[in-house]
Structure 1
Amino acid sequence: MRPVVRGSVPLVAGVAKTVSDYKDWRLDLLGRIGNYCSYCNMVLNDSPQVEHVSPKAPNPGLTLTWDNMLLACGPCNRTKDDDPFDIATHYIPDYHNTHLAFSFKVVDHPTKRNQKACIIIPRNDPAVDPAKAQATIDRCGLDATTYNVRATDLRWKYRYEALVTAQLWRSDWDKWGSGIGAPFVDLLLTAATGKGFFSIWFDVFHDVRDIKIALIHEFENTHAPSFDPGSDFDPIVRVVGDL
């Protein structure tokens, strides 16, 4: 899960923007953090949903508040629903270093033969609270492997496809890409931003400093201080005493 910066409320003619419908924040959010789900990081090719970080049903005062808005895909938004979701019990992408909190795992799909699925798991890191990470996974359904005739949740499939693609690019980098340098990185960024799933690309290239820097900058408003330039841009704690 990519750590993001939503930024301060947009201005209109120098005045803080207000809305009467929370969906009117959509273009502002797309402009700030790009067309990616804030939770699963899937590309939002069509109808990105404006999502309330703290659910609006029990918190009506936050229904229109810019600081409570992110973008989400349908499966993450539906699964998250109106259940409690806050910084004390969950890892949140505009507050925590959520890349540090989560990793991924490839599994055999439980019902579809000869199909792999890529799911999200808590990252094995001393800074990570595994219960808090798992609560976030459960709330957003990030380990779901849903497969039915309606095919409404294929995050596991798209995530696996992104992983395979990233691994192919890594193989080419190891064979000849590092000798080409910047032109290879530019092409890689086109593939990465087109596929989405920032953390998969970042982990696949975990030991390639230049590519990690490029990914941080290319995915709009990634929280750059969550990655330490003194340790080759490895992920670090974003919030002292938390994550």
Structure 2
Amino acid sequence: MRPVERGPIPVLADGTTKTVKDYKDWRFDLINQIGKYCSYCNMPLYDSPQVEHVAPKSPVPGLALAWDNMLLACGACNSIKNDRSCSSATHFLPDYHNTHLAFAQAVRSHRKLPASSAAVVVPRPGLPALKFPKASATIALCGLARVEQTATQMRRASDLRWLYRFEACELATRYRAAWDALPAAFEAQFLACLHDLARAIGFFSVWFDSFYDVVPVKQMLIGAFPHTANCFPAPSYDPVVRVTGDL
């Protein structure tokens, strides 16, 4: 899960702070800030990105229009999360933590498709044991380990995040193998192509994990995805804790 910087509240051309009467009016501002990706599953959002309340608006009406409480989400993550309570104390949140440190991808077999054909989000191996409940609660919050298994689910194909994530994993693995076999003279061209592909496919952490030890690719990925949080410092661009004591 990519950590993001929402940034300060948008300012209008006349210098005044933007206000809205409908929280959906933040949509284009959020796209400009963090890109057209779901903040939870990291899938690209090509059709009607949904403006999502981090803390649900129902129990705390004051948060219904607050810029600092808004992220983008896909329909699946938003509908599963709904108005369930969450906070930085109980969940790992992409606008607060370095969520890349908390989660990883795992390939699972799928009984309706060939083996090893689904990829789900899991707590990152090596995560301190005391943090596992928090990571698991976040995964459950948005159904990030959900895989459609029943015949009815497969017919309706309403939640294919597991499939798109698996396809991203497959691509990232192939491109990593290509990088390892690449003559140095072609690295610049490869980076330019990978930049465009990663932005189109989404799933920041899938790519970052595949190139965990390749500095120029990590640097490129951090810049390719808009406003990735500043918790991948140079020169190594390895992820670091964003909130002291939280991971």
SS in 2 for 1:104: strand
Q: Per the alignment, do residues 177 and 32 of structure 1 end up closer, same or farther by CA in structure 2, a change over 3 Å counting?
A: farther
**C-alpha displacement at 1:148, in angstroms?**
2.6
1:97 partner amino acid: N
Q: Per the alignment, do residues 165 and 42 of structure 1 end up closer, same or farther by CA in structure 2, a change over 3 Å counting?
A: same
Deviations 1:146-177 (A, max 9, x none): 24321110000000001111111111111115
SS in 2 for 1:183: helix
1:33 partner amino acid: I
CA contact (8 A) 1:177 1:184 kept: no
Q: Which range moves more in the overlay, 125-134 or 41-50?
A: 125-134
SS in 2 for 1:71: strand
User: Which residue of structure 1 lines up, in the alignment, with residue 138 of structure 2?
Assistant: 136
Q: Per the alignment, do residues 80 and 31 of structure 1 end up closer, same or farther by CA in structure 2, a change over 3 Å counting?
A: same
User: Which residue of structure 2 lines up, in the alignment, with residue 227 of structure 1?
Assistant: 232
**C-alpha displacement at 1:216, in angstroms?**
0.3
2:232 partner amino acid: F
> Aligned residues, how many?
241
Match of 1:182 among 183, 188, 207: 188
Q: How does 1:15-164 map to 2 (within 5 A)?
A: 15-114=16-115, 116-126=117-127, 129-146=131-148, 147-164=153-170
Deviations 1:116-149 (A, max 9, x none): 1000000123457111001000011000002432
User: Which residue of structure 2 lines up, in the alignment, with residue 242 of structure 1?
Assistant: 246
Q: Counterparts of 1:235 and 1:178 in 2: how far apart (Å)? A: 26
Dislocated runs of 4+, deviation >6 Å:
none
Q: Counterparts of 1:122 and 1:213 in 2: how far apart (Å)? A: 24
Q: Counterparts of 1:2 and 1:126 in 2: how far apart (Å)? A: 16
Q: Counterparts of 1:48 and 1:233 in 2: how far apart (Å)? A: 29
TM-score normalised over the length of structure 2: 0.94
- Aligned-pair RMSD on alpha carbons? 1.4
Listed as ranges, the gaps of 5+ residues in structure 1 are none
**C-alpha displacement at 1:233, in angstroms?**
1.4
- Greater share of residues in strand: 1
Listed as ranges, the gaps of 5+ residues in structure 2 are none
